A and B are shown apart, each in its own frame.
Chain A
Amino acid sequence: MTLLSTRGLTKQYAGLTAVNNVDFSLPQGQIRAIIGPNGAGKSTFVGMLSGKIISTSGTVTFNGKDVTELPAHKRIGLGMAYTFQITSIFSNLSVHENVALAARRVNQKTDSISVNQRVADALDRVNLSDRHEQIAGDLSYGHQRLLEIAMGLAQSPSLFILDEPTQGLSAEEIESFITLMKSLAGDTTILLIEHNMDVVMATADLITVLNFGEVLAEGTPQEIRANDDVQAAYLGIANA
């Protein structure tokens, strides 16, 4: 079953077409990576999926519902979670409160699990469970990235959009991130923008390559790895 799809999704910034006529389809339970060089339109594309960026034309369908006209908070309310490329947390609030803010919104609809339980679970999964009371702004950059991921996890989303989640993480943290993503697979559909090819190859079921705002290729990691155009242009010799 398709969880998310787009038809002719386009974003123009005063003459510059950042995303051009993208048809995209994401089945339930898949881990999909979006790759492409800087300026390919990856962040703009997922921004339009979550409603953070308003599209110029085209449609977004989520869970069988046309959400094109819905503002961001309503799409999030339908079960999307979004982590920012540039870390965006509540720096002056505690780590616990950061995640609690994410959990509380979900619990407005259902409180099968208590907010504190959700917070504890989410922080546990990213190995920050010993830092509940720390002020979020005092965390190291890598830990702030993990906190951001925990804020997504606490929402138990059906679609989890992560914009460059491993940027700034240590090798060890990247390892546990990969494990985390694999453990989510099946229940949660994951859309991952990622520069780190090791992460992409280790986690993604399918890869979509964007270039100049258009879909250049789509396929399994093996297919993308073997694709001459993609290999030459985006993966570089070191990763080939």
Chain B
Amino acid sequence: MSTSSNTKLKALGLHLSIIAVLAVSFLVLPEYHSGIIARVLILAIYAMGYNLLFGYTGLLSLGHALFFASGMYGLGLAMQYLNAPPLVGLIAGLGFAAFVSAVIGFLALRTTGVAFMIVTLMFAQAGYLTILLMGEYTRGDEGFVIKQSQRMIAGFDLSHATNRYFVSVFLFGFCLLIIGWIVQSGFGKTLVAIRENEERARMLGYNVQLHKWIAVVISGTMSGAAGAAYALLFGYVGGTFATVQYSIFPLLYVLLGGAGTTIGPLIGALFMFYLIDISSEFTSAYLLVAGVALILLTLFAPQGIAGMLRKRVIRWLP
């Protein structure tokens, strides 16, 4: 039917426009804000990875910080101790995150529902404690800095603000297009089917367990990519990123922005970052402001911002 290919084109158009707007914004944004956006885009990649599992597959993980930190340390340790160049470090980060998510997925998917939440949380805690335990190499809580001289790709300085901005836009755009493609493929639609009615999906002949596992691996690897990119662009690797807090962040971004939408993670991350940034100018109780905003959103727009848009205005939103 032509409507489905039509929707695909519209979605692609939307995603490309967002990427274009982000790229052009650099010309008008003050330096302070382009710095924030670069950071938000990397966190949005993290949230997009999380969203594939939570928003599309319906699996709520409380342990994604482990995947983020796996990518971060995969890159960081390779660059710090093996003197790996950035691209090799990136591959190491992605590879390590893929490996960790494959193993955790295999084990955690033996459980469902609340047990899955608890098991992922526990694995992430174990990961965090491992980082502390191996403090000699990981520098635990205090972390370590990746030298600016190492953060160069063929003379291209990744620590420079302009370069950093465009690299974040490029990485974000790349991940957004991948996610857009996945969720509109047969595989992505099967994930939605599993979220909506697992038993029915199984009785249509789908291998539910395998689909869930692949979703965990893609989700974990993308989260790890965000962690690796964060370390590379901002030059810092530390155990803080493996704490529970960093498992909760993508959940908040996705809930705010709209679970199960491709643009929700970006909207949520932007919204949350600026909410805290702006409210902290006025009060030290900025977390209270964030909390109230969250409560209001869950009360009045439980599907999140993009979810509400899809329900009310743009039905075809991917």
Of the candidates B4, B197, B208, which one forms a contact with A73 in the assembled complex, judged by CB atoms under 8 Å apart?
A: B208
Interface segment among B107-115, B184-192, B235-243: the answer is: B184-192
Interface segment among B8-16, B199-207, B270-278: the answer is: B199-207
The answer to whether A101 and B193 touch across the interface, beta carbons within 8 angstroms, is yes
The answer to whether B206 and A105 touch across the interface, beta carbons within 8 angstroms, is yes
Q: Which B1-48 residues have C-beta < 8 A from chain A?
A: 1, 3-4
Query: B142 at interface (Cβ–Cβ under 8 A)?
Result: no
| B1 CB to nearest A CB, Å | 5
- Chain B residues with CB under 8 Å of A92's CB are 196
Q: Which B172-200 residues have C-beta < 8 A from chain A?
A: 186, 189-190, 192-193, 196-197, 199-200
Of the candidates B4, B193, B199, B205, which one forms a contact with A155 in the assembled complex, judged by CB atoms under 8 Å apart?
A: B205
CA A203 to CA B218, docked complex, whole Å: 48
Q: Which A56-99 residues have C-beta < 8 A from chain B?
A: 72-74, 76-77, 82, 84, 88-93, 96-97
Known: A73-B202, A88-B199, A104-B186. A96 touches B192 (CB 8 A): no
Q: Which A93-114 residues have C-beta < 8 A from chain B?
A: 93, 96-97, 100-102, 104-106, 108
The answer to whether A91 and B205 touch across the interface, beta carbons within 8 angstroms, is no
- Chain A residues with CB under 8 Å of B4's CB are 116
The answer to whether B204 and A151 touch across the interface, beta carbons within 8 angstroms, is yes
The answer to whether B1 and A101 touch across the interface, beta carbons within 8 angstroms, is no
CA A97 to CA B202, docked complex, whole Å: 16
Known: A101-B193, A116-B1. A76 touches B200 (CB 8 A): no
In the complex, the chain B residue whose C-beta lies closest to that of A77 is: B205
- Chain A residues with CB under 8 Å of B196's CB are 90-93
Query: A52 at interface (Cβ–Cβ under 8 A)?
Result: yes
Known: A93-B192, A101-B189, A104-B186. A88 touches B197 (CB 8 A): yes
- Chain B residues with CB under 8 Å of A106's CB are 205
Count A interface residues, CB 8 Å.
Answer: 29
CA A210 to CA B5, docked complex, whole Å: 49
CA A116 to CA B208, docked complex, whole Å: 23
Interface 0/1 of B204-216, CB less than 8 Å to A: 1111100000000
| B312 CB to nearest A CB, Å | 15
Query: A50 at interface (Cβ–Cβ under 8 A)?
Result: yes
The answer to whether B208 and A90 touch across the interface, beta carbons within 8 angstroms, is no
The answer to whether A104 and B203 touch across the interface, beta carbons within 8 angstroms, is no
- Chain A residues with CB under 8 Å of B3's CB are 133
| A137 CB to nearest B CB, Å | 10
- Chain B residues with CB under 8 Å of A116's CB are 1, 4
The answer to whether A84 and B203 touch across the interface, beta carbons within 8 angstroms, is yes
The answer to whether A76 and B205 touch across the interface, beta carbons within 8 angstroms, is yes
The answer to whether B204 and A102 touch across the interface, beta carbons within 8 angstroms, is yes
In the complex, the chain B residue whose C-beta lies closest to that of A152 is: B204
- Chain B residues with CB under 8 Å of A76's CB are 203-205
Known: A90-B196, A91-B196, A92-B196. A101 touches B203 (CB 8 A): no
CA A101 to CA B204, docked complex, whole Å: 8
| B190 CB to nearest A CB, Å | 7
The answer to whether B205 and A73 touch across the interface, beta carbons within 8 angstroms, is yes
The answer to whether A89 and B197 touch across the interface, beta carbons within 8 angstroms, is yes
In the complex, the chain A residue whose C-beta lies closest to that of B3 is: A133
The answer to whether B197 and A105 touch across the interface, beta carbons within 8 angstroms, is no
- Chain A residues with CB under 8 Å of B202's CB are 72-73
| A160 CB to nearest B CB, Å | 13
- Chain B residues with CB under 8 Å of A133's CB are 3
- Chain A residues with CB under 8 Å of B186's CB are 104, 108
- Chain A residues with CB under 8 Å of B208's CB are 73
The answer to whether B204 and A88 touch across the interface, beta carbons within 8 angstroms, is no
CA A88 to CA B198, docked complex, whole Å: 10
- Chain B residues with CB under 8 Å of A96's CB are 1
| A53 CB to nearest B CB, Å | 11
- Chain B residues with CB under 8 Å of A93's CB are 192-193, 196
CA A89 to CA B193, docked complex, whole Å: 10
In the complex, the chain B residue whose C-beta lies closest to that of A96 is: B1
In the complex, the chain B residue whose C-beta lies closest to that of A87 is: B200
- Chain B: residues with CB nearer than 8 A to chain A? 1, 3-4, 186, 189-190, 192-193, 196-197, 199-208
* Besides A90-B196, A96-B1, A116-B1, 5 other A-B contacts (C-beta < 8 A): A52-B203, A76-B203, A84-B200, A88-B203, A106-B205
| 15 contacting pairs across A/B (C-beta < 8 A) | A52-B203, A72-B202, A72-B203, A73-B203, A73-B206, A84-B200, A90-B196, A92-B196, A93-B192, A96-B1, A97-B189, A101-B190, A101-B193, A104-B186, A133-B3
- Chain A: residues with CB nearer than 8 A to chain B? 50, 52, 72-74, 76-77, 82, 84, 88-93, 96-97, 100-102, 104-106, 108, 116, 132-133, 151, 155
- What 7 A-B pairs are tightest by C-beta distance, nearest first? A76-B205, A90-B196, A88-B200, A105-B205, A77-B205, A104-B186, A116-B1
